Amino acid sequence: MAVRLFLLSVSAQRKFAKAPLVFGLLLIASHSVAAETPVERGKYLVGIGGCNDCHTPGYFLGKPDANRFLAGSDVGFFVPGLGTFVGPNLTSDKETGLGLWSQNEIVAAIQAGVTPDGRELAPMMPWAAFAKLTKADAYAIAAYLKSLPPVKHQVAGPFGPTEAVTIPVLKVVAP
């Protein structure tokens, strides 16, 4: 029996010999996560959230303009009965972007679909999905958007259902 206990002890020693390595890796991983700033986290979330798709000029035309990243689209979305909407400028420009919006107002738009003036966002803005973000992640996105350099770019529209549209439009036509 003593031999068996010794063997278990050796086995346990082998099993836990890697524990300092595992613990060290966990410590490094937790440190790198803790070292991530809200702006870095927001940049990551904007990237995986696909914000670039609807809010960067040239994206829907196959040539995204990296110099005007998130500065507003140049292609509209047609919604039957509502009109045509264009992804707005999300940079910190005070005249054409989010420069005058607070982080709380940006979070309200992201998670509740409401602008500071009380207007509801267009239906293609996936705010209902973004409503499931944690508050920390929503505020990280707001921090990142506030950190973007201002790019002056006034998008066209929105256009009402009977108004003439002056830009290319994405339109879904039901069969």
- Give the tens place of pLDDT for each residue, 8-40: 444 444 554 554 444 444 444 444 455 699 999
Q: What is the pLDDT of residues 68-104, one digit of tens each?
A: 999 999 999 999 889 999 999 999 999 999 999 999 9
pLDDT of residue 34: 57
d(C-alpha 43, C-alpha 16), whole Å: 39
Report percent pLDDT > 70 for the chain: 80
Two tokens, residue 122? 């267009």
Mean pLDDT of 55-69: 94
**Contacting residues for 101 by C-beta, under 8 A, at least 6 apart:** 109, 116
Fold type of domain 37-171: Cytochrome Bc1 Complex; Chain D, domain 2 (1.10.760)
* Beta partners for residue 85, in sequence order: 77
Confidence of residue 6 (pLDDT cuts 50, 70, 90): very low
Q: Which residue from 136, 142, 149, 145 is spatially nearest to 104, judged by alpha carbons?
A: 142
The 3-state DSSP class for residue 26 equals helix
CA–CA dist 63, 45 (Å, integer): 22
pTM, rounded to two decimals: 0.76
For tokens 């036509």, what's the residue?
173
Note the pLDDT tens digit of each residue in 95-136. 999 999 999 999 999 999 999 999 999 888 999 999 999 999
pLDDT at 158: 92
Q: How far is CA 41 from CA 15, 37, 50, 107, 172, in A?
A: 36, 6, 14, 15, 34
